[in-house]
Chain A
Amino acid sequence: MNGRGVVWLGAPSFPVAAKQALADPQLRANLKRATTTIRDKRLAVAAELDDWEALRDAAAAIKKRTARHLDRYLLQLEESVTAAGGTVHWAADAGEANRIVTELVRATGETEVVKIKSMATQEIGLNEHLAVHGITAYETDLAELIVQLGDDRPSHILVPAIHKNRTEIRDLFAAEMAHWGRPAPEGLTDAPRELAEAARRHLREKFLTAKVAVSGANFACADTGTVVIVESEGNGRMCLTLPETLITVMGIEKVLPSWSELEVFLQLLPRSSTGERMNPYTSTFTGTTEGDGPSAFHLVLLDNGRTDTLADRVGRQVLACIRCSACLNVCPVYERTGGHAYGSVYPGPIGAVLTPQLVGPEHAASLPFASTLCGACYEACPVKIDIPRVLTHLRAEVVEAQGGRTAEALALKAAGKVLDSPHLFAAAQKAAALGGKALARKGRIGRLPGPAAGWSDTRDTPAPPAESFRSWWRKNKEDDR
């Protein structure tokens, strides 16, 4: 595996991991309930805006323009952040970003940091890296906390603990909180209020003692140097304001040309992600201010495969992603398998197109195939990423990387030859009809051999009829003309 992180080491291929998830009825019920609820909410609030489609077009256009001049906007961002009293660091890959952050924490002399939800730091495996160097990272987003306490992995971009229900969370709090700080209160029930209160008390201790915070970023404005974080709980705001040192790790694609563009994205993001008109907390911060908030601010700009992605004419559009997770919530595959099956911090349709590009298609070869190409993700995406188009593009890259020697490649090459000749094709139809007749009972085939065995576990297949359309036509219609 290469040094970019992103995919979980030793994760099985999608079909194998999916099989495990499908066997868990509780997981499927949790996922179905959660995705259906968010899906309906999203549709309702998007329908409230009569310029919704225009907003999507605007967002896509801004992201396209930003990507075209990404170098320029990033340099401008560095200039603005520096002018506002912050420091900018450039990280080519996961290893470099981890080293930079670890050094920055070490320089403060601290051994604990609080964190607010950051996919970029999950992508590079920062918590694990810090732990190796004797630094403990505490997740403070409620869902992230649940994942951390469970020694688990996130299953959703926005709702990382979507796969857990209340009872499971209660049990986890009761068993694990004490190992990380303040224990859960005696007799904790699974009432949402009680769970939230237990988490609040547990986290409050961290907020009040931590001197260093690590965050992600939703957007950063090149012209002002302002970083933007949207969230629901306010825990992020605590991390951004209470500690003395703030380190923000951000993928380079998150830059926006200017502050004014936020107008478009702050309408699209909350509606697309949680189905809310506005998210409860929107924090914007610019460098440092004497006597207010952190006295040191570091912005780590993470590449980790993004410039390679940018170089791909078709695939670059995924850099427009604002991680709203709308595509996950509408995806029929994600709804059945959950996020773990994707073997990466980026699950669902966006994961299927982003992960292979960040790490190279040969390192995530099953992901571009983890879709029926039903198009629901494209329809939902607020920045109009044509995910099905990128999926088929990446499939071709996977096939190319495999060098055309697989059984599938040989079969499809042979099929291509047959289909390029009406005579061979007609002969193959005859053979199929004969073979089908031999296998069929009452006109239907039950079990099929070879790669189609999985198909025939739950599906019958009709036997091909004795007469194809073209031979019927030849007999009955051709002479008429």
Chain B
Amino acid sequence: MRVALFITCFNDTMFPGTGKAVVEVLERLGHTVDFPMEQTCCGQLHFNTGYRPEALPLVDRFTRAFAGYEAVVTPSASCAGMVREGHPLLAADHGTADLQRRVAELVPRVHEFTEFLTEVLGVTKVGASFPHTVAYHPTCHSLRGLHLGDRPERLLRAVAGLELVDMPAADSCCGFGGTFAVKNADTSAAMLADKAAAVRASGAEVLCAADNSCLLHIGGGLSRQGSPVRTMHLAEILAATEGGAR
């Protein structure tokens, strides 16, 4: 299948490794990946912070960049959620009839990465090998926004050598919330402190999630505390072939 990658502006700039990992996994599974250069951002930052008129051109840009693709895949649950819920809302409230139509046509073809692997491609074993202990943090957008359920864990369990460990209060918010972490830095820090303690309690070597933004937050806290725990996007673990096993 020819798959278009929506990398998200944030991953593009800060975590290019996540995009490379998605390409690696999809190509390994025999698919062709395209990266439409016209793409930039889904508009989530503007939408969630209350700047709707500023988000609208980004919605328009997104629908044009990805028009004509059978499938669009993104390694960000929160951006997938933005496209799925935010784009139709913005188009309905502020956009033209044409934009509304283009959004409606595109939305069903946009998939979050783990959703795409398990539901569209029907695979859980992607030929990865990663002999480490891993804790999975279900981000709020993957858990309650997209209802990914146990799809990420199913993918992780199928990785050779990987040991998935439990983390206390895994489903509680890490306190990132985009601009929340800046506007309400103290409250955010209190939530982060609890999350970081939970990560430590899990005993994992690696903390993984399906969204780099939450990982940036939790990883930033762990790093400040001098913790040796690494944070990795789930795609990077699925792309890993440590020990040579496939």
Bound-state CA distance A336–B175 (Å) is: 11
| Chain B residues whose CB sits within 8 angstroms of the CB of A420 once the complex forms | 40, 57-58, 61
Which residue, of A375, A395, A470, A477, has the highest number of chain B Cβ atoms within 10 A? A470
Interchain CB contact under 8 A, B177 and A451: no
A10 at the interface (CB under 8 A from B): no
Interchain CB contact under 8 A, A18 and B7: no
Interchain CB contact under 8 A, A336 and B190: yes
| Chain B residues whose CB sits within 8 angstroms of the CB of A451 once the complex forms | 182
Query: Of residues 124 to 153 in A, which have CB atoms within 8 Å of B's CB atoms?
Result: none
A45 at the interface (CB under 8 A from B): no
| Chain A residues whose CB sits within 8 angstroms of the CB of B190 once the complex forms | 22, 28, 336
Query: Of residues 49 to 85 in B, which have CB atoms within 8 Å of A's CB atoms?
Result: 49-52, 54-55, 57-58, 61
| Chain A residues whose CB sits within 8 angstroms of the CB of B220 once the complex forms | 459-462
Cβ 8 A contact of B40, one of A336, A368, A419 = A419
Interchain CB contact under 8 A, A467 and B16: yes
Interchain CB contact under 8 A, A374 and B14: no
Q: Which secondary structure dominates chain A's binding surface? A: helix
Contact with A along B169-186 (1 / 0, CB 8 A): 000110111111111111
Query: B147 CB to closest chain A CB, in angstroms?
Result: 10
Bound-state CA distance A14–B187 (Å) is: 10
Interchain CB contact under 8 A, A465 and B16: yes
| Chain B residues whose CB sits within 8 angstroms of the CB of A412 once the complex forms | 45-46, 49, 51, 54
A449 at the interface (CB under 8 A from B): no
Contact with A along B152-196 (1 / 0, CB 8 A): 000000000000000000001101111111111111111111000
Which chain B residue has the least Cβ–Cβ distance from A430? B13
Contact count band on B: 35 or more
B11 at the interface (CB under 8 A from A): yes
| Chain A residues whose CB sits within 8 angstroms of the CB of B127 once the complex forms | none
Given A369-B179, A461-B216, verify A469-B11 contact (CB < 8 Å). Answer: yes
| Chain B residues whose CB sits within 8 angstroms of the CB of A469 once the complex forms | 7, 11-13, 16, 19-20, 35
Interchain CB contact under 8 A, B13 and A477: no
Bound-state CA distance A454–B172 (Å) is: 22
| Chain A residues whose CB sits within 8 angstroms of the CB of B185 once the complex forms | 15, 454-455, 457-458
Given A412-B46, A461-B220, verify A336-B180 contact (CB < 8 Å). Answer: no
A279 at the interface (CB under 8 A from B): no
Cβ 8 A contact of B49, one of A399, A465, A478 = A399
Contact with B along A401-420 (1 / 0, CB 8 A): 00000001100110110011
Interchain CB contact under 8 A, A19 and B186: yes
| Chain A residues whose CB sits within 8 angstroms of the CB of B49 once the complex forms | 395, 399, 408, 412
Interchain CB contact under 8 A, A460 and B50: no
Cβ 8 A contact of A465, one of B14, B47, B172, B177 = B14
Given A376-B173, A454-B186, verify A371-B46 contact (CB < 8 Å). Answer: no
Interchain CB contact under 8 A, A369 and B192: no
Interchain CB contact under 8 A, B144 and A369: no
Interchain CB contact under 8 A, A372 and B186: no
| Chain B residues whose CB sits within 8 angstroms of the CB of A14 once the complex forms | 184
Chain B residues close to A by CB (< 8 Å): 7, 9, 11-14, 16, 19-20, 23, 33-35, 37-41, 43, 45-52, 54-55, 57-58, 61, 140-141, 143-145, 172-173, 175-193, 216-217, 219-221, 223-224
- Could you show 28 A-B contacts with beta carbons less than 8 Å apart? A18-B186, A19-B186, A22-B190, A333-B184, A337-B187, A369-B183, A372-B140, A372-B177, A373-B180, A374-B177, A375-B145, A376-B144, A413-B51, A415-B46, A416-B51, A416-B54, A419-B40, A420-B61, A429-B13, A444-B223, A455-B181, A458-B221, A461-B220, A462-B216, A462-B219, A464-B13, A464-B14, A469-B13
